[in-house]
Amino acid sequence: MDKKLYIGVGVVVALAVGLFFLGRGSAPTPQYNPIGGVSFEQEAFTQGFTTLAPAYLGGKKTTLTTGATVIVRSDEFCDASLLLWEPTAANSTTTLPTSSSITSRCLTSDGARHSFLFRNISATSASTTNIVAGTGMVLLEPDGQNIILGGGNSAQFDCYRNTSSEIVCVIDEVIDAD
């Protein structure tokens, strides 16, 4: 008799759990994100759960205005997973946003992280861009490298909030494998 009771209770519990989750949305759909590995569709992932900011789920591609200098806005920095820019001269500059504008938009707590790929899409290798820190930012580079991107090169940015007034970005330049 005890065995039938346990089976009956198990079936009731399984049905209750199934009914609890019924109508809570589909399972999240995994998507490949070349910068951060596997990410999930925000809508499916957030139904019935705490919402995560889009910047941490893949972001979008943003093309900055072509020219000799560009200042990256905090919305471009926070929302994009891919930033494209075509400098028009050697020693062009790309200035990143201030830490205060970033911490008010996306990196809202100490330890928060945002990553994106920055591409110098100039076909001319001499069209370099110097990455310039915004106020309150610390830029780190691998030993032996610099933060000057040649034409056609890219850099992986991994940015972390250290404090409410300091963002630390690790910048690693890479070249096309072709």
| Cα angle, residue 56 at apex, residues 54 and 59 outer, rounded to 5° | 55
Q: Give domain limits for the chain.
A: 1-52, 56-178
The per-residue pLDDT for range 13-50, each reduced to its tens digit, is: 666 555 555 555 444 444 444 444 444 444 444 444 44
The per-residue pLDDT for range 122-140, each reduced to its tens digit, is: 988 778 899 999 999 999 9
The per-residue pLDDT for range 67-84, each reduced to its tens digit, is: 899 999 999 999 999 999
What backbone phi and psi angles, to 5 degrees, belong to 138? -120, 125
| DSSP β-bridge partners for residue 168 | 138, 160
Whether the per-residue pLDDT at 62 is higher than 70: the answer is yes
Return all residues near 40 (Cβ < 8 A) that are at least 6 apart.
28, 29, 30, 31, 57
Whether the per-residue pLDDT at 55 is higher than 60: the answer is no
Q: Which CATH class is domain 56-178?
A: mainly beta
Whether the per-residue pLDDT at 65 is higher than 80: the answer is yes
pLDDT at 20: 57
List the structure tokens of 131. Answer: 């990455």
pTM of the model: 0.66
